[in-house]
Structure 1
């Protein structure tokens, strides 16, 4: 039996892999497979048929504790490359605690969000909303997920499920 994953110990968020953008919380949503209901001859009822490698829009909400220069720079209407580097805690079979790295890289375009509040002694909760156009997750040094709708890539655990589609429509070779 392998380690039992428990929680995220800590993480940092960097712009372009090197500039720490502040103390933040990050939440992703969306990314569900696009699908269509399939009915007709030979099917008793209906089934939901996902389209290989096609996903609904992915969004990211980044909540800054306070407004920073970096949080304002992320409002520029350009694609920003953000990298989340995390340490994940797990428990070994013998009960010892261990950590391992996780990294998520996204390319994101701001959708807006000037938000925030002014309250003495409290965080400002300055939110930014982004449209994610590229998403890659690396767990313990292994690429486990890559979603790149613009370049027709959908890779899960090393298998590129859109490679055949790209070949079929003349995008490769």
Structure 2
């Protein structure tokens, strides 16, 4: 039987690789591919044809419990380097034992918006910071699984760079 991923035990958000930013939940980027409808001779109808490595805009949103320096400093109009580090609980069905994997999501992006939330007695404020992401890397137990670098024209999955030939063709 396979090992089963069960849940995030805990995670933390860091700025520039070391500065802990505080308590937040994260709405992680969705990876969508740019596509166009293909139709014509030899095709029965229409089909969407995605362009390998060409992704639509990616957004990261951090949802803070309260307004604080950590969230507000991320509204500076510059690129911010963020690490989201998590410990993932898994279960090995062959040995009936729990184990943990390290998940690290690295993003670089510019602030799109910041919401201060609301003020109400005895409740979290619900402030937010949203980013336009141009760099994303996902590593599990130190192994790079996914890397997207829109500005360097990189789209890697499990070490295969699907934009390498495009980059070479454009280098002239």
Q: TM-score, normalised by structure 2?
A: 0.95
Q: Distance in 2 between matches of 1:17 and 1:54?
A: 27
Structure 2 unpaired stretches of 5+: none
Q: In 1, Cα distance between the equivalents of 2:18 and 2:142?
A: 18
- Mapped partners of 1:118, 1:53: distance in 2: 43
* d(CA) in 2 for partners of 1:130, 1:115: 15
Once the 2 structures are TM-superposed, how far is the Cα of residue 23 of structure 1 from its aligned partner? Answer: 0.1
Which structure 2 residues correspond to residues 58-69 of structure 1 after superposition, within 5 A? 58-69=58-69
Superposition pairs for residues 61-100 of structure 1, below 5 Å? Answer: 61-93=61-93, 94-100=95-101
Q: Compute the displacement of 1:54 (Å).
A: 0.2
Deviates most, 157-166 or 25-34: 25-34
Aligned equivalents of 1:3, 1:146: Cα separation in 2: 24
Query: Once structures 1 and 2 are overlaid, which stretch shifts more, 41-50 or 9-18?
Result: 41-50
CA RMSD of aligned residues (A): 1.2
Give the total of aligned pairs.
171
Which aligned runs of 4 or more in structure 1 are off by greater than 3 angstroms?
Answer: none
Deviation at 1:121, TM superposition (A): 1.3
For 1:52 and 1:170, the matched residues in 2 are separated by 18
* TM, length-normalised to structure 1: 0.95
Q: How far 1:92 moved relative to its partner?
A: 1.1
